Amino acid sequence: MSVSRTFVLDTNTLIEANNRYYGFDICPGFWFTLLEQHNSGRLHSIDRVKTESFGKRTT
């Protein structure tokens, strides 16, 4: 029997990945894979992570 796992990432995980090892310009494949996993329903975060990462948008 196969168990499907889902994962939740917090803000620090994304910030540390960008600042230390997987910068957007150095390793775009890492970020593309995170997006693919999110789109497939295996990777999640909470709204607060979006706000902390990108700031509060007014538009």
Q: What is the pLDDT of residues 43-55, one digit of tens each?
A: 998 877 767 766 7
Domain that holds residue 11: 7-54
* Residue 44 in domain: yes
pTM beyond cutoff 0.85: no
Task: Please report whether residue 37 resides in a domain.
Answer: yes
Q: Among positive and negative, which fits the CA dihedral 34, 36, 39, 41?
A: negative
* CB-based contacts of 38-46 (< 8 A; 24+ apart in sequence): 41/6, 42/4, 42/5, 42/6, 42/7, 43/6, 43/7, 43/8, 43/9, 44/6, 44/7, 44/8, 44/9, 45/8, 45/9, 45/10, 45/11, 45/14, 46/8
Using the predicted structure, report yes or no on whether residue 14 has a pLDDT greater than 70.
Answer: yes
User: What is the number of structural domains in the chain?
Assistant: 1
In a domain, 43, yes or no: yes
Asked if residue 59 is part of any domain, the answer here is: no
